[in-house]
């Protein structure tokens, strides 16, 4: 069954499920095989980022499938992101060009500001030192994003991990509006208020860590986890002949978001996309809605003292 698409506010179409690719940071062969398995399984949406360090590996895997005649470039929806040490306006376009060179593409379908905060290139994922933090206005970075769009390097532009007030700041100056906000979203953090806010402004939500990212490398033993096999979810799964993970991914689609589950397992990759032969009832959605606790698995706590830290706000 073909994956349906969401029509974005600028008219571009985004498949409603994608493959997350940060799993290839330590072993490039893992993400390469995952991308090829995903294409064979019917995925056409791939969520990438310069910070993951694997754009070149993903590009080679995709080009291999193109050469095999399995897909064409136009069949695919490729997303990548601007990292936090490249927020100066003059750095945005060259950084986008570097991503395109890594992929071997002329354009990406969606280019996102990865996080709203900026800092120096210190080598740290989230540098806690205030000396590493940089105050670069989001509005300045957005001007660079708009130039990527004008040059044809990105068919759409958007943001990631932005709160409502940060999005409004962009909208107040934007000549080209963001079409997506990619945020952590799963049953324990269903982002109801942020989803409503973004919908009112024509901005779609992409859900990262849709199953709670149980294998995230930064997890501490004391961290809370998203329990996907709750009895209520298992019961709903039995009704449809689906696994708990499939039920929760379907939930995220039914509430209007686009989940991007990560997996390196061929069987799990296939399982995750096999969710378009059923739809949850409003009552079943309401059951899963009740799981919301506001729990984040990616909170970037080290940057809580950064001026642009997004999670001090309610949404």
Residue 6 has pLDDT above 70, yes or no: yes
pTM more than 0.85: yes
Which band of pLDDT confidence, cut at 50, 70 and 90, is reported for residue 125? confident
Q: Can you give the pLDDT at residue 227?
A: 81
> 64-69: which pairs have CB atoms within 8 A and are 24 or more residues apart?
64/36, 65/36, 65/39, 65/40
The kind and range of the H/E element at 5 are: strand 5-7
Per-residue pLDDT tens digits for 47-58: 999 999 999 999
Q: Residue 180 has what DSSP assignment?
A: E
Q: Can you give the pLDDT at residue 64?
A: 98
The kind and range of the H/E element at 150 are: helix 138-150
Domain 13-307 has CATH 3.20.20.100: yes
CB–CB of 66/105 below 8 Å?
Answer: no
Q: Can you give the pLDDT at residue 122?
A: 81
Distance, CA of 257 to CA of 261 (rounded, Å): 12
Helix, strand or coil, per DSSP, at residue 273: helix
Q: What is the mean pLDDT of residues 253-257?
A: 98
Give the residues across from 112 on adjacent strands.
81, 158
Distance, CA of 228 to CA of 156 (rounded, Å): 33
% of the chain with per-residue pLDDT over 90: 88
Residue 24 has pLDDT above 60, yes or no: no
% of the chain with per-residue pLDDT over 70: 95
Range from 41-50, 95-104, 115-124, 201-210 carrying the lowest mean pLDDT: 115-124
Q: Can you give the pLDDT at residue 220?
A: 65
Range from 79-83, 221-225, 240-244 carrying the lowest mean pLDDT: 221-225
The mean predicted confidence, pLDDT, of the chain is 94
Write down the catalytic residue from 52, 111, 119, 208: 52
**Residue 82, φ and ψ in degrees, nearest 5:** -85, 125
Q: Which of 115, 45, 63, 47 is nearest to 87 (CA)?
A: 115
> What residue segments make up the domains of the chain, in order of their start?
13-307
Per-residue pLDDT tens digits for 148-188: 999 999 999 999 999 999 999 999 999 999 999 999 999 99
- Start-to-end CA distance of the chain, whole Å, equals 35
Q: Can you give the pLDDT at residue 29?
A: 87
Q: What is the mean pLDDT of residues 8-32?
A: 89
Known catalytic residue at 208? no
Q: Can you give the pLDDT at residue 2?
A: 86
Judge residue 69's burial from the number of C-beta atoms within 10 Å of its C-beta, 0-12 exposed, 13-18 middle, 19 or more buried: exposed
């Amino acid at each position: 069954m073909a994956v349906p698409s969401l029509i974005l506010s600028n008219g571009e179409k985004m498949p409603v499920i994608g493959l997350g690719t940060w799993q290839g940071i330590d072993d490039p062969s893992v993400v390469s095989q995952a991308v090829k398995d995903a294409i064979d399984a019917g995925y056409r949406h791939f969520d990438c980022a310069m910070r993951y360090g694997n754009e070149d590996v993903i590009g080679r895997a995709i080009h291999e499938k193109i050469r095999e005649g399995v897909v064409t470039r136009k069949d695919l929806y490729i997303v990548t992101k601007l990292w936090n040490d490249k927020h100066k306006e003059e750095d945005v376009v060259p950084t986008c060009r570097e991503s395109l060179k890594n992929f071997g593409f002329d354009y990406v379908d969606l280019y996102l500001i990865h996080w709203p905060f900026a800092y120096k290139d210190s080598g740290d994922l989230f540098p806690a030192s205030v000396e590493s933090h940089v105050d670069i206005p989001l509005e300045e970075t957005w001007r660079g994003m708009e130039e990527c769009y004008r040059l044809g390097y990105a068919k759409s532009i958007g943001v990631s991990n932005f709160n409502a007030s940060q999005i409004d700041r962009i909208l107040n100056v934007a000549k080209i509006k963001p079409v997506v906000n990619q945020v952590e979203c799963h049953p324990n953090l269903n982002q109801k208020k942020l989803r409503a806010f973004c919908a009112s402004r024509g901005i779609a939500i992409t859900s990262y860590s849709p199953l709670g990212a149980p294998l995230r490398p930064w997890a501490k033993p004391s961290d809370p986890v998203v329990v996907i096999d709750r009895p209520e979810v298992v019961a709903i799964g039995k009704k449809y002949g689906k696994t708990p993970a499939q039920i929760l991914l379907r939930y995220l689609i039914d509430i209007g978001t686009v989940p991007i589950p990560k997996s390196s397992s061929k069987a799990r990759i296939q399982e995750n996309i096999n969710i378009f032969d059923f739809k949850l009832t409003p009552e079943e959605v309401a059951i899963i809605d009740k799981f919301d606790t506001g729990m984040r698995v990616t909170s970037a706590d080290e940057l809580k003292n950064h001026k642009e830290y997004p999670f001090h706000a309610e949404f």
